[in-house]
Chain A
Amino acid sequence: EMQLVESGGGVVRPGGSLRLSCAASGFTFDDYGMTWVRQAPGKGLEWISGINWNGDSTGYADSVKGRFTISRDNAKNSLYLQMNRLRAEDTAFYYCARGDINYYGSGSRNWFDPWGQGTLVTVSS
């Protein structure tokens, strides 16, 4: 069974940093791109970052560009999100999901499946 499990969420003060992790199992991790999506309280889903299978291509939403860094360790079947200079508006559930960051034509998986259950990040003083 394919599974993604996020960890690393918690409470952090504005301006602080946090590193989220996503552990993958049940599929060949280094065959796929991965992505992070978040949902702020009472708000909708927001795509924030993605990475290709080997880490040499990444993408970021304007809302996090320059503050967040996505990375992966294929040897550990793990995806990461380093979040710096956190703001109150970064408070959200953060989900990891499998999906390609670029369009490669047929065979490209430009949708997100599966998803993890999410980890909550709260930015508050």
Chain B
Amino acid sequence: QSALTQPASVSGSPGQSITISCTGTSSDVGSYYLVSWYQHHSGKAPKVMIYEVTKRPSGVSNRFSGSKSGNTASLTISGLQAEDEADYYCCTYAGNSIYVFGTGTKVTVL
């Protein structure tokens, strides 16, 4: 049950696009189409931004999109805005009633 690997930080200017990677193994990310992404502002409840790799919950901006290739999933934020500054975590179902989160990425809007 090793944490999925994410970059510690990603930054971009307003209006730019950024991509956060999430690397696991063939036993977790590579085995299931069940990667989800969470936005976490300090002191608040985490919020799901993407589920089942590419799906966006009602109310989440279409500036957020997800994808997966092999053992690596990605979250792209386009048209970066100041309110996107937060920590982002990927998560996947890993079988046998187990989930694994990523190490987390701090997004900074310059």
Contacts and interface: CB of A to CB of B under 8 A. Distances in A.
A44 B101 contact: yes
A19 B34 CA distance: 30
Contacts of B32: 103, 110
A79 B66 CA distance: 31
A45 interface: yes
A95 B40 CA distance: 12
What interface size band does chain A fall in? 20 to 34
B46 to A, nearest CB: 5
B36 interface: yes
B109 interface: no
A118 B42 CA distance: 12
A45 B40 CA distance: 10
A84 B103 CA distance: 26
Contacts of B99: 35, 47, 50, 59
Contacts of B51: 110-111, 113
Interface in B74-110: 87, 89, 91, 93, 95-104
Contact of B101 (A47, A114, A115, A116): A47
Contacts of A47: 91, 98-101
A61 B91 CA distance: 14
Given A45-B104, A47-B101, A111-B52, A103 B96 contact: no
Nearest to A97: B46
Contacts of A45: 38, 40, 46, 89, 91, 101, 104
A45 B100 CA distance: 9
Contacts of B87: 44
B57 interface: yes
B97 A101 contact: yes
Interface of A: 35, 37, 44-47, 50, 57-59, 61-62, 95, 97, 101-103, 110-118
Interface of B: 1, 3, 32, 34, 36, 38, 40, 44-48, 51-52, 57, 87, 89, 91, 93, 95-104
Given A35-B99, A44-B104, A102-B97, 8 more contacts: A45-B38, A59-B97, A61-B1, A110-B32, A110-B34, A112-B36, A112-B38, A113-B47
